[in-house]
Amino acid sequence: MVNIVKLMLFFILSRWFSMSEKKKVALIATGGTIASITDEKTHSLRPGLRVDQLLSSLPKGMSDIEVIEKNLLQMDSANLQPHHWQEIATAIKEVSEEIPDLSGIVVTHGTDTMVYSSSAISFMIQDFGKPIVFTGSQISAIVPWSDGPRNLLDAIRVAAFADLSETCIVFNGEIHRPTRTKKTRSNAYDAFDTMDPRPLGILARDIVLYEGRRKRHNLVPRFDTRIDDRVFLLKVFPGIPPGILTKIVDMGYHGIVIEGYGEGSIPSEENALTNGISQAVRMGCFVVVSSQCTYGRTDLSVYEVGRSARDVGAMGAQDMTSEAAVVKLAWVLGHTRNPDDVREMMMRNYVGEVSYKIEEQELK
């Protein structure tokens, strides 16, 4: 009887201690609107708030969460370059190794290029096992009606408690997968939308997560920051000069993502881009065709104007956003320049960038 009582007491105490332990969340700041102040000389906004100042805007009482502060960058996200993605990934790796019992990581970032940076981190850090949460705001945290405090609090909450092991964007009460997301509004609080099928979840009284997400796990994380930043994004428009493709290759670019019309259509008669694509491919450049449309997918087999691009060596982006296609192509080319391997890797779904099952014939 005494042994049973001891066991029950041990169980109760162990449960109490586990519940009373604080969740640890690392907060890595890179600048952006959320950290902006008004420059006295130009009277324009520029990043200037540190992590402790961002945290001071939050309501008191987060007694169950310990936030580890790291000031990494102080930049407008319009100025961020691909090597900054590597710096962010390295900072995440370092803090996760220094504090192995972290529950999650939050990265504050400007909204303009948040999709690019968070998509890059999705590819660079796989099987992390816990949330890596990007967030920011449309209005500086120093303004009373800023959306920054809410977004930051939501991001910390997701990092600490959500059963999620993906890089995500938390904004305006929604949880988005970066490689399926676009910034669709320049001023409104709901700046981001998921492009088919739906967000990873929403924030209400509880954290509501949908099926299809990657749940927390204890696999060994894979950190791989190799990229080739010589990837160009070209938008097709009526009258686009075909010679621009070879000019891009001459400038030293190794990959081109072409935003075609509809399902990937490009001009194939007057001002045809097919010769330019063919020449670029022969020069060792890899060409991917995405769509200018917000929703849907690229299918180069439907129309003759799409098939003509495929026949001269272009790859379809499937239903990847143009942003995800650019980042993925940069990541793939950082690993291989073998044409067969590049094609296979671009078709493979790594981090949810492709939202449908790839049919076997598309891999051929």
**What pLDDT does residue 263 have?**
93
**Overall average pLDDT of the 248-264 stretch:** 96
pLDDT band (50, 70, 90) for residue 356: low
Among residues 223, 258, 276, the one where a domain terminates is 223
**Overall average pLDDT of the 212-216 stretch:** 93
| 278 Cβ contact list (under 8 Å, min separation 6) | 312, 313
Catalytic residue among 23, 24, 76, 112: 112
- Structure token digits, residue 129: 């096992």
Check whether residue 167 and residue 276 sit in a common domain: no
pLDDT band (50, 70, 90) for residue 13: very low
Q: Which one-letter DSSP state was computed for residue 169?
A: E
Check whether residue 100 and residue 148 sit in a common domain: yes
Task: State yes or no: is 111 an active-site residue.
Answer: yes
The CA distance from 7 to 179, in Å, is 48
**What pLDDT does residue 60 have?**
78
List % helix, strand, coil for the chain (3-state, nearest 5).
Answer: 35, 25, 45
Check whether residue 97 and residue 197 sit in a common domain: yes
Catalytic residue among 30, 33, 298, 321: 33
**Overall average pLDDT of the 19-28 stretch:** 85
> Is-above-0.85 flag for pTM?
yes
Q: Count the domains in the chain.
A: 2
* Residue whose structure tokens are 């793939």: 332
Residue 296: pLDDT above 50?
yes
For 208, list phi and psi in degrees, rounded to 5: -100, 115
Check whether residue 85 and residue 201 sit in a common domain: yes
Task: State yes or no: is 167 an active-site residue.
Answer: no
CB-CB contact of 276 with 246 (8 Å): yes
**CATH code at 93?**
3.40.50.1170
Q: Which one-letter DSSP state was computed for residue 59?
A: P
Among residues 223, 253, 276, the one where a domain terminates is 223
CB-CB contact of 290 with 322 (8 Å): yes
pLDDT band (50, 70, 90) for residue 21: confident
Domain residue limits at 58? 20-223
Catalytic residue among 70, 90, 93, 183: 183
Check whether residue 293 and residue 187 sit in a common domain: no
pLDDT band (50, 70, 90) for residue 7: very low
**What pLDDT does residue 363 have?**
40
Catalytic residue among 111, 113, 135, 225: 111
**Overall average pLDDT of the 165-170 stretch:** 97
Residue 160: pLDDT above 90?
yes
Asked whether residue 274 is assigned to any structural domain, the reply reads yes
Task: Work out the mean pLDDT of the chain and round it to a whole number.
Answer: 91
| pLDDT (tens digit per residue) in 299-323 | 998 888 889 999 999 999 999 999 9
CB-CB contact of 258 with 273 (8 Å): yes
**What pLDDT does residue 10 have?**
43
**What pLDDT does residue 2 have?**
46
| pLDDT (tens digit per residue) in 190-208 | 999 999 788 999 999 999 9
CB-CB contact of 70 with 96 (8 Å): no
Residue 122: pLDDT above 60?
yes
Q: Which of 44, 23, 266 is nearest to 131 (CA)?
A: 23
Least confident of 31-45, 64-78, 105-119, 181-195: 31-45
Task: State yes or no: is 112 an active-site residue.
Answer: yes
- Structure token digits, residue 214: 């990657």
Task: State yes or no: is 193 an active-site residue.
Answer: no
Check whether residue 38 and residue 114 sit in a common domain: yes
Check whether residue 237 and residue 343 sit in a common domain: yes
Check whether residue 263 and residue 133 sit in a common domain: no
With a pLDDT cut of 90, the percent of the chain lying above it is 81
**Overall average pLDDT of the 267-281 stretch:** 94
Asked whether residue 152 is assigned to any structural domain, the reply reads yes
**CATH code at 316?**
3.40.50.40
Asked whether residue 14 is assigned to any structural domain, the reply reads no
CB-CB contact of 125 with 168 (8 Å): no
The CA distance from 170 to 203, in Å, is 9
The CA distance from 71 to 93, in Å, is 15
Check whether residue 181 and residue 244 sit in a common domain: no
**Overall average pLDDT of the 123-140 stretch:** 97
**What pLDDT does residue 357 have?**
56
